[in-house]
Amino acid sequence: MTTSVAVSLQEWQTLGPESGSGPLSGLSLSSHPEARRFAAELSESKRLEVLELSQGIELRSFAHVGRIQLGPVTVTVHPKLRGAPLHRLLRYAYGLRDLSLFSTLQYGTAEHAFQEVLIEQLAAEVAELISRGLHREYERTTAALQSPRGKLDFTAYLRNAGVARAELPCVHHPRLTDTLLNTTVLAGLFFAATLAEDIELRSRLRRHAELFEYAGTRPILDRTLLQSARRHLDRRTTAYAPILTLLELLWESAGLSLDQSSEELRLPGALFDMNRFFQRLISRFLHENLSGYEVKDEFRLQNVFDYEPDDNPLGRRAPTLRPDFVIQAEQKTVAVLDAKYRDLWELPLPRDMLYQLSLYAMSFRDCREATIVYPTLSSNAEEQRIRINDPLFGEGRAHVAVRPVNLHRLDQLIRDPDDVALNRQRAEFARLLATS
């Protein structure tokens, strides 16, 4: 009989089977073909590496956090930064309101997975939306009414003029809550309830769902519904934007892509991409605080690679380089930044990151330097610089900078957006982050 085990690790950590002991020792997925398929998908996508060894199972986490079930093993990957700082940075990065109704201590403990934080915020956002009132839209309705309202439907009236009735055909426009946005929120509540492990949280989601009107079968959240709801946002429905953002995060964390070209695979759990979170966090901070410069996100570098026209028999497109941020001033590039969610003060710099940034550094005439910005909790972390030399003459041709972003310091800076003293500190921190 296979024993069920639960293991916890942090991001960028390896946990293997110890000889004769340890929770992963002696475990195998051989009798769980579906779990083995999910393990292969997780390893290939670099969300979680799962290796079956002769002594047991070895796990290696990357930049994804959350909880997932693989046959007999429940794997929880925790972020290093927990509690209130992580929640504030998360809300800031994605433009969520400060509606935290739960204890940050409770959801910083080992028994809760990171998706609980997102679902708790979703529940708080929906509760706030319900308290303000759901968005309603006028819908043209034709009906025979004993108490007429709207206007008389003369065509229907003449069609049945010879029949005596105690009602009149009317055309009216009632304001209904059964709209696309409300249907999406309702479907999202049901979807989030399947991911939530906390019983009280699941119950709260279902209580919220009972306050929505819907006809027929229960709505199902899918890619098309999310994309349609996003397109229907306008100035009247801005309160729905953070809810849709959270639903998109939960959708992708469950392994379901919003990209139509990608194959959808529903994972047995949820793993949140901290890389995307960190890039979003840096993007908002730079856009709001780096005055005098233009920040361009995912800037496309033109013509770095190009197939020779006569030597491209398959007609393939050349790969495109897209640095996370290009900083420009007076139409000149002054900095090229790439956000990497890996503490490069504690962990070594992978070669693929160095190669990628070296290409960025060599691709600009105005700026012969590219910078990796990475998160750290260490107050001792300092910038490192790597020189790219001419292989024959040893002359320096460009540089790659490895620049730390102290998350505790960033958390302090964003706490009070109206503080004048903090405004000056935020501007200075953004300048040092982008151009030092």
Strand residues in 207-310 grouped as ranges (E): 269-273, 294-297
What pLDDT was estimated at residue 265? 66
What pLDDT was estimated at residue 141? 77
Residue 421 phi, psi (nearest 5): -65, -40
What pLDDT was estimated at residue 106? 46
pLDDT range class, residue 165, cuts 50, 70, 90: confident
State mean pLDDT over 364-373. Answer: 89
What pLDDT was estimated at residue 248? 94
Is the model's pLDDT at 315 over the cut of 80? Answer: yes
pLDDT range class, residue 336, cuts 50, 70, 90: very high
Per residue in 31-75, pLDDT (tens digit) is 899 999 999 989 998 999 999 998 889 999 999 999 999 999 999
259 or 268, higher pLDDT: 268
What pLDDT was estimated at residue 207? 93
What pLDDT was estimated at residue 107? 43
What pLDDT was estimated at residue 201? 92
Phi-psi region at 64: left, alpha or beta (left = phi > 0; alpha = psi -120 to 50): beta
DSSP string, 38-54: HHHHHHHTTSEEEEE-S
pLDDT range class, residue 143, cuts 50, 70, 90: confident
Mean pLDDT value across the chain: 87
Q: Report whether 221 contacts 187 (CB < 8 A).
A: yes
**For the chain, how big is the Rg over CA atoms in Å?**
27
Q: Report whether 70 contacts 277 (CB < 8 A).
A: no
Number of H helices, E strands in the chain: 12, 18
What are the helix (H) ranges across 210-271?
223-231, 241-253
Is the model's pLDDT at 105 over the cut of 60? Answer: no
Is the model's pLDDT at 192 over the cut of 90? Answer: yes
